[in-house]
Chains A and B, each alone.
Chain A
Amino acid sequence: MQLPDAEHLLANLTERVRHDLGPNTALVGIYTGGVWLAERLHQNLQLSLPLGTLDVSFYRDDFGQIGLHPQIRPSDIPFKVEGSHIVLVDDVLYTGRTIRAAINELFDYGRPASVRLAALIDRGGRELPMAAQYVGTVLDVPSDKMLALEKSAEGKLSLSLYDKRRDNE
């Protein structure tokens, strides 16, 4: 299937997020693809609050089935969560389970004034009542395929489609 251009979608997403920016808006990227996007958004939007990153491995609901992720990066929230307006950033919104985990983790840092979600692609297939306020595009992806964001050595973002080995977002 024909995949959209990730750089073009990122430009769309940037303008949508820009529309709602306030002085207390902070971006938090979810590893791995979400962090790449959040870095670019943060740079494009010139936000004053530093960028946050989350690795939701300790909050996933499938630990009992698949155990701990083999590679975990430290989460880092370098601003005061209490009272801030947070935009979570992820590459692909699918079942909603990663977002559930991310929101739970975020609340262990403090009580944000609001949390919104920016996703490059909404591929449907939700298993939880989650919605993104900012979306690059909506794309119908067969359920046996995995859609992943990739980053080239030069930093250019692109999308790839894989056969799914296990349920993954």
Chain B
Amino acid sequence: MTNAGTMSNNPQLNKNGQLQHLLTTEGLPAPILLHILDTAESFVGVTERDVKKVPLLRGKSIFNLFFEPSTRTRTTFEIAAKRLSADVVNLNIAASSQSKGETLLDTVDNLSAMHADMFVVRHSQSGAAHLIARHMRPEIHIINAGDGRHAHPTQALLDVFTIRRYKSDFRNLRVAIVGDILHSRVARSQIHALTTLGVPEVRVIAPKTLLPAKVERLGVHVYHDMTQGLKDVDVLMMLRLQNERMLSARLPSTEEYFKYYGLTQEKLALAKRDAIVLHPGPMNRGVEIDSAVADGKQSVILPQVTFGIAVRMAVMSILAGS
């Protein structure tokens, strides 16, 4: 539940309580999350037509600002923008002015001088999207496409959208998030979205070295053992083992990780028989997930990608209309 006080303090909402930027799922009221999911439902129909396009954002310019490598997220944002008839410009920052020393805010100022209406930002620093949102004129909308270890709200929204498609009611689900919680902005955004939508039991399953301190404060149940953690679970949300974010050796080896935390058919059998398996991609097969599970009939990993486009179309059109 929310009240006027938290609404006005939320940098994502305008004074009418409408979504102005999408920076994090933390603190977003359930009605806003549900409005995004419901709108995305209509866009799924659009993406299944012969003409997969609507004229909603015709004449708007959307800049994809990726300071960190990404294939799927950048591509699905690009497709989403194009299916809304927006003009989309992709900036590969590693190969641009930032390598010549330009600051982040100078970069976005220059782009907004080109009449940008919306920025989709991915950055390795937590808080980068917030910084840009505070800096820009209010009519320019910011979508956080992943900032450091902090948040990745559209991924979490497409995950809950996928869950709702296969499991109708959030209020009687047991969900387990498995793997590298410590480095995962996806896990943080998932936990906030799931708890706001009323999922009564969210578990995290990970070795102690891959859990943030005091993770229980997010309202999750902590398990270090898959056998206990997966019992009676409806939804398994696997995370990628983020080798590029490993500052020090937190694991003996990826083989040992697979032995204890890799999702195999045998471990999956501990969950409910109709449990579904999600993964945000890119997958490390044989590290956090076995190929037999990734390609198996309980996997909804490819539908997640398809739904990701509809969810991003919903977010973009709600922001542009606020």
A: residues with CB less than 8 A from B are 55, 57-59, 63, 66-68, 70-76, 104-105, 108-110
Count A-B contacts at CB 8 Å: 50
CB contacts (< 8 Å) of B41 on chain A: these are 74
Q: Can you pick out 15 interface pairs between chain A and chain B where the beta carbons lie within 8 Å of each other?
A: A58-B42, A58-B46, A58-B56, A59-B55, A63-B56, A67-B318, A68-B39, A74-B42, A74-B44, A75-B42, A75-B46, A108-B51, A108-B53, A108-B54, A109-B49
Q: How far is the CA of A72 from the CA of B39 in the complex (A)?
A: 6
A107 to chain B, nearest CB (A): 8
Please give 15 more A-B residue pairs, beta carbons under 8 A apart, in addition to A74-B42, A75-B45: A58-B55, A58-B56, A63-B320, A66-B321, A67-B318, A67-B321, A68-B39, A68-B317, A68-B321, A70-B35, A74-B44, A75-B42, A108-B49, A109-B49, A110-B50
Beta-carbon contact of B322 and A67 below 8 Å: yes
Does B18 reach chain A (CB closer than 8 Å)?
Answer: yes
How many angstroms from the CA of A32 to the CA of B142 in the assembled complex?
33
Task: Report the minimal beta-carbon distance from B139 to chain A, rounded to whole angstroms.
Answer: 12
A40 CB to closest chain B CB (Å) equals 24
Contacts of B46 in A (CB 8 A): 58, 75
Name the B residues within 8 Å of A63 (CB-CB): 56, 320-321
By beta carbon, the residue of chain B nearest A57 is B42
Task: Report B-chain residues with C-beta under 8 Å of the C-beta of A59.
Answer: 54-56
Q: Which residues of B contact A (CB under 8 A)?
A: 18, 35, 38-39, 41-42, 44-46, 49-51, 53-56, 317-318, 320-322
Cβ–Cβ < 8 Å partners of A108 in chain B: 49-51, 53-54
> Please, which residue of chain B has its CB at the minimum distance from the CB of A70?
B35
Closest to A108 in B: B51
Main secondary structure of the interface of A (DSSP, over half): loop
With A63-B321, A67-B321, A68-B317 known to touch, is A76 a contact of B54 (CB < 8 Å)? no
Contacts of A57 in B (CB 8 A): 42
Alpha-carbon distance A66/B38, docked complex (angstroms): 18
Question: Lowest 9 CB-CB distances: which A-B pairs, in order?
Answer: A67-B321, A58-B54, A108-B51, A68-B321, A74-B45, A74-B42, A72-B42, A58-B56, A68-B317
Question: Which residue of A55, A70, A110 contacts B42 across the interface (Cβ within 8 Å)?
Answer: A55
Whether A104 pairs with B55 at a CB distance below 8 angstroms is yes
Measured CB to CB, the nearest residue on chain B to A58 is: B54
Contact residues in A for B44 (Cβ distance below 8 Å): 74
The residue of chain B having its C-beta at the shortest distance from the C-beta of A81 within the complex is: B50
Contact B45 A76 (CB under 8 A): yes
| A29 CB to nearest chain B CB (Å) | 15
Chain B residues with Cβ below 8 Å from A75 are: 42, 45-46
A68 to B36, CA, bound (A): 11
Q: How far is the CA of A108 from the CA of B52 in the complex (A)?
A: 8
A68 to B43, CA, bound (A): 13
- Alpha-carbon distance A63/B42, docked complex (angstroms): 16
Bound CA span A54–B53, Å: 15
B50 touches A109 (CB 8 A): yes
| B49 CB, min distance to chain A CBs, angstroms | 6
Kindly list chain A residues whose C-beta atoms are within 8 Å of the C-beta of B322.
67
How far is B53's CA from A75's CA once the two chains are assembled, in angstroms? Answer: 13
Give bound CA distance, A109 to B44, whole Å: 14
| Chain A residues, Cβ within 8 Å of B42 | 55, 57-58, 72-75
- Chain A residues within 8 Å of B317, by CB: 58, 68
How close is B54's CB to chain A, nearest CB, in angstroms?
Answer: 4
- The smallest beta-carbon distance between A110 and chain B, in angstroms, is 7
For residue A124, give the distance in angstroms from its CB to the closest CB of chain B: 28
